[in-house]
Structure 1
Amino acid sequence: MTLTIANFGRAAEGTGGQRGANGFNEPASVDFAAALQQASGSRVVGRMASSSSAQEKALRRSESFLSELALHADALLHGRVYEQYAAICYRRVAEHRTAEVLIVTSRESGRWIVPKGWPIKGKKPHEVVAIEAFEEAGVRGKVKKKPFGYFTYLKHLADGNCVPCVVELHLLEVEQVFQDFPERGQRRCEWVSFIEAASRVREPELKGLLLSAERKISKSSGKR
């Protein structure tokens, strides 16, 4: 198995630390040293864009992400990470035998991400995913209980600190889209192809997971 940050996130399952009184997990220990070295070798980006300009933008986003990881090497190498849960929200497009994915912007930075959030006391991961998908993007649907994969990113907190997060990713097939939801007007939401979504997000492992999700969904559509 190729050593990447996503693989370290996958290995972190079951070592998420103790859940605190506020419902969030306390830091867990994950060794990021080798993952940081390997992440720069990701070959995912080259598969994403047909135009050279789009590919260059995607590469710059990945390079920016990896540079930011390097700037926070101390935090990464100490192995203190936090846990979050996220959704790949998709809908099937029957007439084209394809699927679209819903991406949203971060309220803090405006960059493109997938709906995600912190653990909630008393809620299972897939239940948190359903809550976040509605609050951030106004969608509801069927959430897979089994994680689809994991990726890592740096979370900028309100106090100015930056902490590494391992994100557990679940597939959510959208059945309802609402015009009114808690964070409407605070984020942009857009339905795009999986390839387009992969070109917009920064994290190399998330790019790869989006492309893998497209393949999985396409195969399941063909069996219907």
Structure 2
Amino acid sequence: MNELRNLLGRMLGRRPPALQVGALCLQPKTGRVLLITSRGTGRWIIPKGWPMDGRSVGGAALREAWEEAGVRGKVEETAFGRYSYDKRLTGGLSAPVEVQVHLVRVERLDKTFPERKERQRRWFTPDEAAELVDEAGLARLLRRLPG
């Protein structure tokens, strides 16, 4: 389906969505998921960012989880799923983005991490998290988790 959408978009002069990597951080013993707030609007989201040279996609997701939420853990290299959203850009514009989501089994949370003063982080059940996020595709992924 995404390939068809991208082909149609190219035919109509639109660019395909940019790819980001996301980390769906799980607390193994409880099944709870970690959400963080976005810097601009304070919405509840998962850690995510752009792919990184020299890192696998899963490795980039794990790095984003540490930078944005202080997560240390193990990442699954196989993607758990994908979702799309419109990234808000400066000047009021937006751009389509597709996020490839990887599960991260959290081993610990660092108290000191790069974005600790810019975000909040909190544990939720998958159903609670699904109700809090704005992106319907991310909510669907959260509802696929047990618990």
RMSD: 2.3
Q: Which residue of 2 aligns with 1:163?
A: 95
Larger radius of gyration: 1
Q: Which residue of 1 aligns with 2:62?
A: 130
TM-score of the aligned structures, taking structure 2 as reference length: 0.89
Alignment of 1:107-122 (within 5 A): 107-122=39-54
Segments of 5+ residues of structure 1 without an aligned counterpart are: 1-6, 13-27, 33-74, 219-224
Alignment of 1:195-206 (within 5 A): 195-206=127-138
Alignment of 1:7-156 (within 5 A): 8=2, 29=6, 31=8, 78-93=14-29, 98-156=30-88
| CA distance, structure 1, for counterparts of residue 6 and residue 75 of structure 2 | 28
Q: Quick one: which amino acid aligns to residue 164 of structure 1?
A: P
Q: Quick one: which amino acid aligns to residue 63 of structure 2?
A: I
Q: Does 1:192 align with 2:124?
A: yes
Q: Does structure 2 conserve the Cα–Cα contact (< 8 Å) formed by 1:101 and 1:193? A: yes
Q: Quick one: which amino acid aligns to residue 105 of structure 2?
A: E
Higher relative contact order (CA 8 A, sep 6+): 2
More strand by share: 2
Q: Does structure 2 conserve the Cα–Cα contact (< 8 Å) formed by 1:138 and 1:179? A: yes
Q: Does structure 2 conserve the Cα–Cα contact (< 8 Å) formed by 1:30 and 1:79? A: no
- Identity among equivalent pairs (%): 39
Task: Kindly state the Cα deviation for residue 159 of structure 1 after the two structures are TM-superposed.
Answer: 5.0
Change (3 A) 1:30 1:179: farther
Segments of 5+ residues of structure 2 without an aligned counterpart are: none
More helix by share: 1
| CA distance, structure 2, for counterparts of residue 31 and residue 108 of structure 1 | 32
* Length, aligned pairs only: 145
Change (3 A) 1:186 1:30: farther
| CA distance, structure 2, for counterparts of residue 90 and residue 83 of structure 1 | 22
